[in-house]
């Protein structure tokens, strides 16, 4: 990026640095023309966005190497390291959703390798989930049914464990293997008899869409002479009242949280984190979050039916239920935030977070409105911006990034659009809108009296359990909330912002008189206990 900047003629840099919104078409056009004739620009776009140079693509050899390392760590009983290696291998291993079971066996095996480590680490629920993931890829995988049976037995789900082992016995090819499973089955049947109530542990994936009580009051948008638009309440509101809840228009995880938090819901990643199907960058806490971020669904292969038919009818029904993905029932909406960044191209890793966030806003437009409406997208966003007040340096950066981002998106998002001065100037405005309206998503981490860090994302107003805890705020993401960005700042705020997963909540901290503005502090939010 510095090479591009250094090569821009001084008079053009000055024109951009001195520009106002009305000059944008002219300055964007001049810079675009300059880049079109500047070879290093094209070279940079190729390196950032051409799948041929993708550094974050799937790589079977790398996956096999990571698996080998995982196997060595497992043999040395270094389970924590083995867990990391298998997760890395899962990130790297290609999974062909349009292919047959055999070609995806590597991924299924990796899930079972990891499930075995998770069992050793007593993370049984996580182990069970990995077994199910392996079976969704490869339903006739005897070892996966066997491992699932062992996990269910450890959880006391004897009925399910017996069914798992019976399926394992049916699909196990070797006589020795069948005999071993029969031995295990005998022990389990005895245990089952001595258990009066068999608890069915449901398959639980994290639900990232927790929406609390919804506001019942009427908020109104107003225009003020000193602060621009703002929000007032039409009635008196008491303290602690939830006045607003909103999902982000676009959101991105912060770079420092990429390995620790789910790239979609921002909750802590569990030990059985799931990777993106098409690239090696994001990690998700569940299949559901992956689907919401990428739109990538699992396909039930036609040959599954043959597999079920060969099982006794009750076992066939059980197996079908286990591997059934309810993915198609998920509401994906139009927010597949990662889809256009996928396939291993590395511009989403390299460009600054707010530029990748601008790309997510743009992709949402590009994928959902007819191309002729694209020139109006800044008006549709209805966000204020600060282009005029930006420093000359930032104006220049936003011009360069707007052009680079559009060329990267043209390679990645699969939609044809022409890049001209109108489009570029709108992206410059979006970058400046992000600067004014972007919220840092924080999670609350409670540290109890013994100094143990514990639960994230719980709002102390709702739970007396934290009254003796210290609360630390951890920054995890950046997001644009369209309605949320209409609330102005005050040094004496009457509302407080907090986040549960991706959702923004605004709650009153004082009594708010009718017709008064609802305002929050834009600085760090400190929660009063």
The structure tokens listed for 95 are: 């999974």
For residues 363 and 453, what is the distance between their CA atoms, to the nearest angstrom? Answer: 38
Instruction: State yes or no: residue 203 binds ligand SAM (CB under 6 A).
Output: no
Alpha helix stretches (DSSP H) within 194-298: 287-294
Minimum CB distance to ligand SAM smaller for 166 or for 437: 437
The structure tokens listed for 296 are: 């990538």
| Only segment of 22-30, 199-207, 289-297, 486-494 that touches ligand SAM (CB under 6 A) | 486-494
CB of 381 to ligand SAM, least distance (A): 11
The correct pick among 88, 286, 488, 503 for binding ligand SAM (CB under 6 A) is 488
CB of 491 to ligand SAM, least distance (A): 8
Q: How many binding residues for ligand SAM (CB under 6 A)? A: 14
CB of 250 to ligand SAM, least distance (A): 15
The correct pick among 26, 180, 353, 384 for binding ligand SAM (CB under 6 A) is 384
Helix, strand or coil, per DSSP, at residue 63: helix
The correct pick among 436, 447, 513, 514 for binding ligand SAM (CB under 6 A) is 436
x/- binding map, residues 439-478, to ligand SAM, per CB under 6 A? ----------------------------------------
Alpha helix stretches (DSSP H) within 172-261: 175-193
Do the beta carbons of residue 509 and residue 281 sit within 8 Å? no
| Only segment of 109-117, 316-324, 471-479, 483-491 that touches ligand SAM (CB under 6 A) | 483-491
Do the beta carbons of residue 402 and residue 428 sit within 8 Å? yes
x/- binding map, residues 316-355, to ligand SAM, per CB under 6 A? ----------------------------------------
Minimum CB distance to ligand SAM smaller for 168 or for 497: 497
Residues of this chain, 254-313, that bind ligand SAM according to CB under 6 A: none
Closest C-alpha among 351, 382, 430, 354 to residue 28: 430
Instruction: State yes or no: residue 386 binds ligand SAM (CB under 6 A).
Output: yes
CB of 208 to ligand SAM, least distance (A): 25
CB of 439 to ligand SAM, least distance (A): 8
Minimum CB distance to ligand SAM smaller for 19 or for 437: 437
Do the beta carbons of residue 522 and residue 488 sit within 8 Å? no
The correct pick among 243, 486, 518, 520 for binding ligand SAM (CB under 6 A) is 486
Kindly report the three-state secondary structure assignment for every residue of 63-78.
HHHHHHHHHHHHHCCC
Most distant CA pair in the chain: distance in Å? 86
CB of 485 to ligand SAM, least distance (A): 4
Radius of gyration of the chain measured on its C-alpha atoms: 27
For residues 319 and 167, what is the distance between their CA atoms, to the nearest angstrom? Answer: 8
For residues 517 and 436, what is the distance between their CA atoms, to the nearest angstrom? Answer: 19
Do the beta carbons of residue 308 and residue 320 sit within 8 Å? yes
| Only segment of 212-220, 246-254, 274-282, 485-493 that touches ligand SAM (CB under 6 A) | 485-493
Instruction: State yes or no: residue 120 binds ligand SAM (CB under 6 A).
Output: no
Minimum CB distance to ligand SAM smaller for 160 or for 508: 508
In the chain, the N- to C-terminal Cα span, in Å, equals 46
For residues 108 and 134, what is the distance between their CA atoms, to the nearest angstrom? Answer: 4
Residues of this chain, 204-233, that bind ligand SAM according to CB under 6 A: 226-230
For residues 518 and 528, what is the distance between their CA atoms, to the nearest angstrom? Answer: 18
The structure tokens listed for 528 are: 């009063």
Please give the residue whose beta carbon sits closest to ligand SAM in the complex.
Answer: 228
How many residues make up the chain in this entry? 529
What element of type H or E holds 28? helix 24-36
Q: Which residues bind ligand SAM (CB under 6 A)?
A: 226-230, 384, 386, 436-437, 485-486, 488-490
């Amino acid at each position: 990026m510095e090479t591009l900047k250094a090569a821009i003629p001084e008079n053009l840099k000055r024109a951009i640095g001195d520009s106002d919104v009305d000059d944008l078409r002219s300055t964007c056009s001049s810079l675009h023309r300059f880049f079109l004739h500047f070879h290093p620009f094209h070279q940079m776009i190729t390196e950032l966005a051409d799948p041929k140079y993708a550094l974050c693509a799937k790589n079977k050899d790398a996956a096999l190497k990571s698996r080998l390392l995982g196997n060595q760590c497992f043999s040395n009983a270094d389970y924590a390291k083995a867990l990391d290696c298998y997760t890395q291998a899962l990130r790297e291993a290609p999974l062909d959703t349009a292919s047959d079971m055999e070609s995806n066996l590597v991924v299924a095996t990796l899930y079972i390798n990891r499930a075995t480590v998770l069992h050793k680490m007593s993370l049984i629920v996580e182990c069970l989930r990995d077994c199910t993931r392996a079976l969704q890829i490869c339903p006739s995988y005897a070892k996966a049914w066997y491992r699932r049976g062992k996990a269910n037995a450890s959880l006391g789900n004897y009925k399910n464990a017996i069914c798992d082992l019976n399926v394992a016995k049916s699909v196990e090819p070797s006589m020795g293997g069948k005999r071993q499973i029969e031995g295990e089955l005998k022990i389990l049947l005895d245990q089952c008899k001595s258990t009066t109530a068999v608890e069915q542990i449901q398959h639980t994936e994290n639900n990232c869409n927790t929406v609390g009580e919804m506001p019942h009051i009427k908020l109104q948008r107003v225009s003020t002479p000193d602060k621009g638009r703002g929000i007032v309440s039409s009635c008196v509101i008491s303290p602690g009242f939830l006045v607003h809840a909103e999902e982000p228009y676009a959101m991105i995880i912060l770079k420092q949280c990429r390995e620790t938090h789910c790239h979609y819901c921002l909750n802590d990643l569990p030990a059985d984190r799931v990777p993106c199907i098409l690239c090696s960058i994001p990690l998700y806490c569940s299949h559901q979050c992956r689907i919401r971020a990428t739109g990538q669904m699992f396909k039930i292969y036609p040959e599954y039916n043959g597999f079920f038919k060969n099982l006794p009818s009750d076992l066939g029904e059980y197996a079908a239920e286990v591997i059934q993905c309810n993915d198609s029932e998920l509401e994906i909406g139009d927010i597949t935030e990662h889809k256009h960044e996928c396939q291993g191209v590395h511009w989403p890793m390299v460009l600054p977070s707010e530029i990748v966030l601008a790309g997510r806003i743009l992709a949402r437009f590009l994928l959902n409105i007819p191309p002729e409406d694209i020139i109006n997208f800044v008006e549709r966003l209805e966000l204020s911006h600060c282009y005029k007040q930006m420093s000359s340096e930032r104006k220049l950066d936003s011009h360069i990034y707007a052009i680079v981002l559009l060329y990267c998106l043209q390679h990645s998002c699969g939609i044809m659009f022409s890049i001209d001065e109108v489009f570029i100037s709108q992206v410059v405005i979006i970058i400046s809108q992000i600067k004014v309206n972007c919220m840092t998503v924080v999670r609350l981490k409670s540290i109890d009296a013994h100094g143990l860090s514990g639960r994230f994302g719980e709002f102390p107003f709702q739970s007396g359990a934290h009254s003796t805890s210290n609360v630390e705020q951890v920054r995890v993401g950046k997001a644009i909330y369209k309605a949320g960005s209409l609330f102005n700042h005050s040094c004496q705020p009457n509302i407080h912002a907090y986040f549960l997963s991706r959702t923004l909540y605004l709650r009153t901290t004082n009594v708010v008189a009718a017709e008064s503005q609802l305002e929050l502090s834009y600085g760090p939010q400190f929660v009063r206990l």
